[in-house]
Chains A and B, each alone.
Chain A
């Protein structure tokens, strides 16, 4: 899986590359409009992470060019602007998702995974993580071919953990993914704890291992 990271802020670009590389993607960082155009002219990517404000042009212009060329790469727009117009225009120009800065890398990773699932495998909807199989279309989870009965939040949580498996995820990042920005953190941590506890129980009951590890002081980690 190859990703193109178009982001002019070096430090952010490097962080994204580091995280996604560790998740098993091959990342190519570019920093300007020109570089991005050059790269996409001769390569195809599974997903392009695209910043809106770039030296030499805007991400929206790039989207327009790609659309004219009939490119079908998955694109996720990351922007400092929470403008609804940008979001709508971006999506109209063929972007698959839109993420507002600052975001958690785990969130970005989940979104990329979803785009790749949708785009690359022609509607392939199974996330295969060892003995855990997640059907993202039917929103069902099975362990050793046994279907798990999960609540909506538990399903969301499990998918997030599985996609970001073997990574340490902060409680903040998970909370944000499950409840959005508007939750009070101390309160949501309690809910999170409850959900994790229930999820663990259900996985164990289905014959799985105790794969959700607590990382002291930091958060949780799905070890698969």
Chain B
């Protein structure tokens, strides 16, 4: 439930409730006042009669009207106190229909000409009732209009008042801490939004700083590790010279060397990732991706034939993209290595560059890979595999840095990686026909 709706529901309920109570109160007050007024008229009638009797010692001639009439009855005594009362009676209205009407009466006794009389002054309360009804009706209408107006106004106003909140949420949603920019929410006049913005600004600034520190740390740590690694590696190279004929020592050194190499590779990969995150690279060089693919495939020839992979390439015309040379090479190398490494021996490797769409497919050992985790760092399907588990993470980071996206799909026992290079920036050579291939997946 939105805050609006909740607020609206609450205010409307409260308004109706208070209007209801108010109306009831108003009704009673009004009834009281109007009855008093009626009673005043009855009283003045009584005063008139009393005054007449005092002067003439006889009852006045009584002229009844439709709404006011006086009944005279003989009474036993003239000492009874005056009494107000109400009664209802069926009276013909103007059209002749009988209608129940409320009558207000004032009864009093009087002595005139030696006789005692009980005089009742009757007055129809219809007009009062009508007035009352009208007033109540007007009140209800007013209340209804007010509620409607209130609701409409509220919807408009609330939307306007809360607009900064929605703007803020949208900006928060779009904010990417790795983007290298602080979240700078604008200054607000409204106290609450000002508080919100200030707090968010402070919080993101703190997180941003921590993030920067951490990233700088990763980069520095990797740098610092290079020299000790160089010391170890060169030390091994020298020690090996004395290991001739001593197989055990040589073996031991080999093990250390392999581990050192792995560490060096890991370190370099982490460093590259840190640099990619820190947006160290510019993608402004014109790179012929077709050529890069051909070169890297040539370098991998032996690995491909060692795995008895059937290589199928469809590179088409030269595709020039705006990229970074080193990163283009790393991207292609990692994708090829990945394809070769995770292919079944005797399977196939298909590389197709159709326009700006590069797809690399290879036969799978087993089922589909987890699309969510495949690009994560250190995710390996086979923990004993020789890879660092960073290859695809690097591929994705390169794509992200270049503003591209990479897709993975599993299709009839083959893994398919697809990248669509930036066509806008990349002038295309020749007539390419992207999307006509049957093996293009998105």
Contact = CB atoms under 8 A, between A and B. Distances in A.
Interface of A: 9, 11-12, 15-16, 18-19, 22, 78, 80-84, 100-106, 153, 167-173, 176, 179-188, 190-191, 215-219, 221
B232 A102 contact: yes
Nearest to A12: B231
A173 B264 CA distance: 13
Contact of A12 (B227, B261, B302): B227
Interface string B47-81: 00000000000000000000000000000000000
Interface string B219-253: 00001101101111111111011011001111101
Contact of B233 (A22, A104, A216, A217): A104
Contacts of B254: 170-172, 217-219
Contacts of B237: 15, 19, 104-106, 170, 173
A80 B227 contact: yes
Given A186-B386, A217-B251, A84 B227 contact: no
Given A170-B257, A185-B261, A187-B306, A102 B243 contact: no
Nearest to A167: B241
Contacts of B337: 182, 184
Given A102-B232, A106-B237, A218-B243, 5 more contacts: A15-B237, A187-B306, A216-B250, A217-B248, A217-B253
B261 A15 contact: no
B23 interface: no
B333 interface: yes
Interface residues of B, number: 46
A12 B235 CA distance: 8
A181 to B, nearest CB: 6
B265 A215 contact: no
B387 interface: yes
B243 A215 contact: yes
A61 B224 CA distance: 21
Which of A15, A18, A171, A176 has most B Cβ within 10 Å?
A: A15
Interface of B: 223-224, 226-227, 229-238, 240-241, 243-244, 247-251, 253-254, 257-258, 260-261, 264-265, 268, 271-272, 280, 299, 302-303, 306, 326, 333-334, 337, 341, 386-387
Nearest to B264: A102
Given A12-B231, A217-B250, A80 B240 contact: no
Contact of A101 (B230, B240, B243): B230
A191 B304 CA distance: 11
A183 B240 contact: no
A102 B247 contact: no
B235 A102 contact: no
A218 B250 contact: yes
Contacts of A19: 234, 237-238, 241
A188 B261 CA distance: 14
Given A184-B386, A185-B261, A191-B306, A216 B341 contact: no
A185 B386 contact: yes
A155 B253 CA distance: 28
A168 B235 contact: no
A16 B261 contact: no
A39 B333 CA distance: 42
Contacts of B244: 168, 215, 218, 221
A82 B334 CA distance: 18
A11 B264 contact: no
Given A80-B223, A84-B326, A184-B386, A219 B240 contact: yes
A168 B386 CA distance: 25
Contact of B306 (A11, A153, A190): A190
B271 A82 contact: yes
